[in-house]
Amino acid sequence: MWTPSNRAIGGLTVLGGLCAVFATLPTRWLGPRPTDSYVFDPPQFSALWFERTVAPAVAVAAALLTLAGLLALFRRDRERMARWQRWFAAIGVVGIAIGTLATMLVVSVGPQGVADPTGALNVLLGAALALLAVILVVPGLVAWGAGYLHRERRRLGTALAVGPVASVLVVVANVGAGVSFDGVGGLPIVAPFALAVVAVGHDLWNQAGDG
Amino acid sequence: MPSITRRTLLGTLAVGATVGVAGCSSSCPDSDAPEPSVVVDAGDAGGAFETLPTGSWPSPRFDAGNTGHGPIRPPTESPTVRWRTTLPAPRVDGAAADASSPTVADGRVYVATAEGTFALSLRDGTERWRHEATPATTGPTIGNDDELAPPVVAGDRVYLATADGVVALHADDGTVAWRATDAAATGVPTVHGDGLVVPTADGLVGLGAGDGHRRWTTAVDATLPAVADGTVVAGGEETVGLDAATGERKWSASARGEFYPVVADGTVFLGTYSQLVGLALDDGTERWAVDRGGGRTFSAPVVTPETVYTVERPTEASDATFALDRSGDGAPEPRWCSYVGEGAVTAAAAGHAFALQTGSTGPETPQLVAFTERFGEATWGCATAARPLPPAILDGGVVSVTHRGTVAAVGGA
Q: Give the whole-number percent of chain A exceeding pLDDT 70.
A: 94
A19 inside domain: yes
pLDDT for residue B359? 58
pLDDT for residue B362? 52
A56 inside domain: yes
Cross-chain residue pair B25–A116, CB shorter than 8 Å:
yes
pLDDT for residue B19? 39
A106 Cα to chain B: minimum distance (Å): 15
Are B191 and B171 in contact by the 8 Å Cβ rule? The answer is: no
CA dihedral (B84, B90, B96, B99) positive or negative: negative
B315 inside domain: yes
Q: Give the whole-number percent of chain A exceeding pLDDT 90.
A: 61
B117 inside domain: no
pLDDT for residue B15? 38
A35 inside domain: no
Q: Which residues of A touch B29 (CB under 8 A)?
A: 38, 111-112, 114-115
Cross-chain residue pair B35–A38, CB shorter than 8 Å:
no
Phi-psi region at B265: left, alpha or beta (left = phi > 0; alpha = psi -120 to 50)? left
pLDDT for residue B4? 42
Q: Which residues of B touch A114 (CB under 8 A)?
A: 29
pLDDT for residue B205? 96
Cα dihedral value B324, B268, B153, B409, nearest 10? -10
CA atoms within 13 A on the CB side of B134: 13
**Which among A34, A117, A118 has the least Cβ separation from residue B376?**
A34
Are B344 and B143 in contact by the 8 Å Cβ rule? The answer is: yes
Distances (CA, A) of B148 to A64, B91, B111, B145: 62, 11, 10, 10
SS3 B406: strand
A170 inside domain: yes
Q: What are phi and psi of B279, to 5 degrees?
A: -115, 150
Distances (CA, A) of A206 to A149, A209, B16, B47, B111: 18, 9, 57, 75, 80
B203: nearest Cα among B214, B212, B192, B191: B214
Beta strands in B281-332 (DSSP E): 286-290, 296-298, 302-303, 307-314, 319-325
Cross-chain residue pair A35–B377, CB shorter than 8 Å:
yes
**Which among A38, A41, A117 has the least Cβ separation from residue B30?**
A38
Q: Which residues of B touch A39 (CB under 8 A)?
A: 335-336, 375-376
| Chain B interface mutation, best of A36, A118, A123, highest count of B Cβ atoms under 10 Å | A36
Contacts of B11 (CB under 8 A, 6+ apart): none
**Which among B18, B35, B334 has the least Cβ separation from residue A40?**
B334
A211 inside domain: no
B75 inside domain: yes
| Chain A interface mutation, best of B336, B338, B340, B379, highest count of A Cβ atoms under 10 Å | B336
Q: What's this model's pTM, rounded to 2 decimal places?
A: 0.84
B39 inside domain: yes
CA dihedral (B360, B362, B365, B367) positive or negative: positive
**Which among B22, B25, B34 has the least Cβ separation from residue A37?**
B34
B260: nearest Cα among B222, B286, B303, B227: B222
Residue count (chain A): 211
pLDDT for residue B234? 94
Q: Which residues of chain B have pLDDT under 50?
A: 1-23
Report the number of distinct structural domains present in chain A: 1
- CB contacts < 8 A (A, B): 61
CA distance A180 to A174: 6
Judge whether B310 is closer than 8 Å to chain A, CB to CB.
no
Cross-chain residue pair A36–B26, CB shorter than 8 Å:
no
| Chain B interface mutation, best of A33, A35, A38, highest count of B Cβ atoms under 10 Å | A38
Cross-chain residue pair B336–A39, CB shorter than 8 Å:
yes
A50 inside domain: yes
pLDDT for residue B147? 92
Above 90 in pLDDT, residue A11? yes
Query: For residue range A109-153, what is the model confidence (pLDDT) as tens digits?
Result: 876 666 667 888 888 999 999 999 999 999 999 999 999 999 888
Structural domain for A14, as ranges: 6-30+42-206
B123 Cα to chain A: minimum distance (Å): 33
SS3 A25: coil
Cross-chain residue pair B375–A115, CB shorter than 8 Å:
no
Cross-chain residue pair A39–B371, CB shorter than 8 Å:
no
B351 inside domain: yes
- Reported ipTM: 0.86
Judge whether B377 is closer than 8 Å to chain A, CB to CB.
yes
Contacts of A63 (CB under 8 A, 6+ apart): A16, A20, A96, A99, A100, A103, A104
Report the number of distinct structural domains present in chain B: 1
pLDDT for residue B7? 44
Are A34 and A48 in contact by the 8 Å Cβ rule? The answer is: yes
pLDDT for residue B364? 64
Burial degree of B109 (CB within 10 A; 0-12, 13-18, 19+) = buried
Structural domain for B403, as ranges: 28-100+299-413
B217 inside domain: no
pLDDT for residue A211? 41
Distances (CA, A) of A37 to A49, A123, B114, B223: 14, 21, 38, 31
What value, to the nearest 5°, has the Cα angle with vertex A30 and ends A29 and A31? 95
**Which among B29, B36, B293 has the least Cβ separation from residue A111?**
B29
Q: Which residues of B touch A34 (CB under 8 A)?
A: 336, 375-377
Q: Which residues of B touch A112 (CB under 8 A)?
A: 29
| Chain A interface mutation, best of B31, B375, B380, highest count of A Cβ atoms under 10 Å | B375
Determine how β-strand B38-41 pairs with β-strand B378-383: parallel
A113 inside domain: yes
pLDDT band for A208, please (50, 70, 90 cuts): low
Cross-chain residue pair B18–A36, CB shorter than 8 Å:
no
Q: Which residues of A touch B335 (CB under 8 A)?
A: 39-41
B256 Cα to chain A: minimum distance (Å): 26
Query: For residue range A42-79, what is the model confidence (pLDDT) as tens digits?
Result: 988 898 899 889 999 999 999 999 999 999 999 999 99
Query: For residue range B374-408, what is the model confidence (pLDDT) as tens digits?
Result: 999 998 888 887 889 999 999 999 999 999 999 99
Q: Which residues of A touch B332 (CB under 8 A)?
A: none
What value, to the nearest 5°, has the Cα angle with vertex B78 and ends B72 and B79? 60
A97 inside domain: yes
B258 inside domain: no
Are B274 and B265 in contact by the 8 Å Cβ rule? The answer is: no
